[in-house]
Amino acid sequence: MTQALHYPYPDPPPEGQAVTIAPGILWLRLPLPGALDHVNAYALDDGDGWTLVDTGISSRRTKALWQAILTGPLGGKPVKRLIITHHHPDHLGLAGWFQDQGAALLITRTAWLYARMLTLDEHATRPPESTLFLTRAGVKGDVLAQMAAERPFNFCDVVAKMPLGFSRLDEGTTLHAAGRRWQVRLGQGHAPDHATLWSLDDTLVLGGDQFLATITPNIGVYATEPDADPLSEWLTSCRRFQPVAENAHLVLPGHKLPFTGLPLRLSQKIASHEAALARLLDHLATPTRAVDCFSALYRRALGPDDFGLALAETLAHLNCLHRQGQITRHLSDDGAWMWQRA
């Protein structure tokens, strides 16, 4: 029987401190700029040193906080290994910084390649492919001109330079940390080859952003792969996790609170996106640009800071319906894709 979500640790660790989740496992919290103001990290005690799961972004504040954590809750023992769940900056930002101090990096090959490529791909102004991507989405006029001229977000702004070398995590990889055996299971959709780690000796699951309780990770399409269909990959991953998810699993997520009730949460995530796809399909009775589809998906007012992620996720839903043959698209005279129910 599927059980409701439960939060056995309702109080997150204060900045610079830790909460003991289980023997040998500490929950840490690191600051982020923006509405989602934190990312979770976990320290696994290996006796003579620590294995860290995720690092936060690269910033002076985060580095200073880690220095305090290393001498405080981690007791001065060295960080010997890093496990990175996926390539997004809030999870991988200080991987290179820890590597420079002697830590070994464990990460999926796809995540490492994405991260290393993006740290080397710096732009002073938006590249033409990105401007075309915005044009195809329906951004135009003064808004497009402003976005085309301004310095875009660069991965290297918040990710430390990554040296060569990593140890590969893959589907089925088994590793030892904190006195436990962990098996890697890969998720897709939010990030390619997102590593989740499932303890074979108790009910702990290190979920990264693949398993979050009270928020849904962004499923987005970007200029790097404008015709990608990450939403189909996300839904497939959720369904693939369902047979192995148990009510007793204690999920240690990348954001918000640890929780139990993973089977219900997987069902909720599938249902949420399927409902969004249905609303979007109804919305496309007449030809519509991507930027005019936000209301169908979000049903609330969005601010300027929401635009980038909202557009990325809208395109993911559009590409999913297009791949299924439920909608068509054609180019308008101003170069935007017009989407319509088939």
Q: Has residue 325 got a pLDDT over 80?
A: yes
Q: Has residue 1 got a pLDDT over 80?
A: no
The answer to whether 106 and 206 have CB atoms below 8 angstroms apart is no
Mean of the per-residue pLDDT values for the chain?
A: 96
CB under 8 Å to 308, separation ≥6 — which residues? none
pLDDT at 305: 83
Q: Has residue 301 got a pLDDT over 80?
A: no
Give backbone dihedrals phi and psi of 169, rounded to 5 degrees, phi first.
-95, 140
Q: What is the pLDDT of residues 166-182, one digit of tens each?
A: 999 999 999 999 999 99
Q: Has residue 15 got a pLDDT over 90?
A: yes
Among 95, 108, 24, smallest CA distance to 63 is for 95
Mean pLDDT of all residues in 144-154: 89
Q: What is the pLDDT of residues 184-212, one digit of tens each?
A: 999 999 999 999 999 999 999 999 999 99
Q: What is the pLDDT of residues 327-336, one digit of tens each?
A: 999 999 999 9
Q: What is the pLDDT of residues 250-297, one digit of tens each?
A: 999 999 999 999 999 999 999 999 999 999 999 999 999 999 999 999
Instruction: Sketch out the chain's domains with CATH numbers.
Output: 19-124+154-282 (3.60.15.10)
pLDDT at 303: 81
The fraction of the chain above a pLDDT of 70, given in percent, is 99
Q: Give the gyration radius of the chain's Cα atoms.
A: 21
d(CA 265, CA 184): 20
Q: How far is CA 223 from CA 13, 24, 132, 136, 227, in A?
A: 37, 42, 8, 10, 9
Lowest mean pLDDT among 58-62, 98-102, 203-207, 296-300: 296-300
pLDDT at 90: 98
Beta-ladder partners of 143:
none
Helix, strand, coil shares of the chain, percent, nearest 5, are: 35, 25, 40
Structure tokens at 295: 């209301």
Q: Has residue 147 got a pLDDT over 80?
A: yes
pLDDT at 137: 97
